Structure 1
Amino acid sequence: MGVLAQLEAWLPPAPPAIDWAAHAYRWQRRGARGWLDAVRQTAPIHLGDLQHVDRQKAILERNTLAFLRGKPANNVLMTGARGTGKSSLVRALLDAHAGEGLRLIEIDKSDLGDLGQIVELIRGRAERYIVFCDDLSFEEGEASYKALKSALDGSVSSPGDNLLIYATSNRRHLMPEYMHENLDAQHQPDGEIHPGETVEEKISLSERFGLWLSFYPFAQDDYLDIVRHWLAFHGCDTDQIHDARTEALQWALERGSRSGRVARQFARDWAARHV
């Protein structure tokens, strides 16, 4: 009995029961065990808060609504400039459609090998789950790269019809690309080009996402529109919003970016000092 007690002390505790009433979860891991940890309070953001990404918003919501209604839908890869609303769009979709059965599971890149466990946990559930991996990119030789490729398209087992994968990345093909890889391309006498196997391997992962959405840096007027939106959100009046223009531009110049994230950060700072 003493030996058994010592062994139990070394074993990790059993994962907690899943709160299926929650709208969002984080995938947690302890040793060999993983579980869905309910998020009690999600960050409040609405689709109307995300401006000057109307095309991307419309496509992503259309795909998500098709998924919720049991129609064909695609896994989505969102790439492009930092701070332009990629991850915020996913959270805003949850805010808009959680009442229709949409659920969100956040997963770290290092845990992508556990996707099979997640599929089994939610298999048969009536809700529709988006597995969301933010800021996804891989270095050479990472094991989770192969796991994601298999989960997207290529595994003999089906992920079920109640799960999609949404990911954001600053890299279009998710992995670093080097100049020397272009030297592996073979140019045939008939003019046909055969890219090197290294390049093919890197492109093959991003191609398994059915939808690619690109996000671009904002123009100055777009950035100022977003600043005005968030200043109004924080209670600034018309005169205060007008007076903030010059400082908002200086703020963006110091940050080296005119993005939605920078605009919201400025609005918080300005409102704290003037409201």
Structure 2
Amino acid sequence: MTEDALSRIADALDRIAPPPSAPADPRAHPAYVWHGAALHPAQHFAPLPLDLLTGIDAQKGAVLENSRRLAQGAAAHDILLWGARGSGKSMLAKSALAALQADGENIALVEVATDALDTLPDLFALLAPVPRAFILFIDDIGFDGDAAAARALRSLLEGGAEARPANMRLYVTSNRRHIVPRSMAEQDDPVNPRDARDDSLALSDRFGLSLGFHAASQTDYLAMIEAYAAHFDLEYDAADAIGWATRRGSRSGRVAWQYIVELAGRAGRSLTDAKNID
């Protein structure tokens, strides 16, 4: 085969599978994603303003204060945000970070894919020498039947040889308070049921802050609607908003946001900074 033919084949292969893009500068962007090999800038990172998150004032204060300490080089905790689906756990982590960035703090968020937890030591090594604070954000974590992965994360949080450096902390969301599922079978273990229980709780115990999020009351739900509607200049009817939640079988920040999207759609408007509420 001629050299020219080989060159054409190589060019064709490059077009089919182009080389990966260069890793992002960890000092340059407000937020990143990590899938296990390289940092990439997060696209369209624009969380809702922190003051729009309603009904979770205590959680907002705790996350904001802890994140500010991290940004300023003071001691800070890893945080577990647990509780009801759609209650604002994910959005709070992102909105608090954006609020600090607006105040001039040098801090960024890195969203870590849940299937890339075994590469966290690589991420630690990459970010440790960077003169910036980082929130490593792991959304909707769970370890159904994967005790080894849970123990590995536990070691990284505290006590392991590759524990996370001082300029970064893990913020993790979960629908379960103790992350690792428990079953009644633990109580039937004739060897030592307490050991099984303690092992299940050991991961959640590694987080310095554990913040619960609960189903919204009707009053809180309508307060969310009112705040969103005022921000986006939309009119709403309380009975219609309650009916929207009733048809979905729940009241939460996510359902409130979905109602706002519906209102905007009815009015023929777009929400240029539409967000996913979780």
Task: Identify the TM-score tier after normalising by the shorter chain.
Answer: 0.7 to 0.9
Q: Distance in 2 between matches of 1:172 and 1:27?
A: 25
* Identity percentage of aligned residues: 35
Kept in 2, the 8 Å contact 1:63–1:73? The answer is yes
Q: How many residues align?
A: 254
CA-CA distance at 1:158 after TM superposition? 4.2
Determine if the alignment matches structure 1 residue 96 to structure 2 residue 86.
no
Counterpart in the other structure of 2:41: 38
Structure 1 pair 185–24 and aligned structure 2 pair: CA distance change class (3 A): farther
CA-CA distance at 1:109 after TM superposition? 1.4
Determine if the alignment matches structure 1 residue 22 to structure 2 residue 29.
yes
Q: Deviations over 1:40-91 (max 9, x none)?
A: 4203311111011000111111111111111111100011111111100111
Structure 1 pair 213–265 and aligned structure 2 pair: CA distance change class (3 A): same
CA-CA distance at 1:148 after TM superposition? 1.1
Counterpart in the other structure of 2:116: 111
Determine if the alignment matches structure 1 residue 70 to structure 2 residue 73.
yes
Kept in 2, the 8 Å contact 1:119–1:159? The answer is yes
Determine if the alignment matches structure 1 residue 231 to structure 2 residue 234.
no
Q: Deviations over 1:204-229 (max 9, x none)?
A: 11111111000111111111111111
CA-CA distance at 1:132 after TM superposition? 0.3
Query: Structure 2 length normalisation: TM-score?
Result: 0.84
Query: Structure 1 length normalisation: TM-score?
Result: 0.85
Q: Deviations over 1:225-266 (max 9, x none)?
A: 111111222212xxx33xx11111111011111101101110
Determine if the alignment matches structure 1 residue 262 to structure 2 residue 255.
yes
SS of alignment partner, residue 211 of structure 2: strand
Amino acid at match of 2:225: V
Alignment counterpart, residue 157 of structure 2, candidates 137, 152, 160: 152
Counterpart in the other structure of 1:271: 264
Q: Distance in 2 between matches of 1:171 and 1:158?
A: 24
Q: Distance in 1 between matches of 2:151 and 2:109?
A: 23
Determine if the alignment matches structure 1 residue 176 to structure 2 residue 181.
yes
SS of alignment partner, residue 130 of structure 1: strand
Q: Deviations over 1:118-158 (max 9, x none)?
A: 01111111110010001111111354323211210121234
Counterpart in the other structure of 1:190: none
Kept in 2, the 8 Å contact 1:184–1:196? The answer is no
Structure 1 pair 196–184 and aligned structure 2 pair: CA distance change class (3 A): farther
CA-CA distance at 1:18 after TM superposition? 2.1
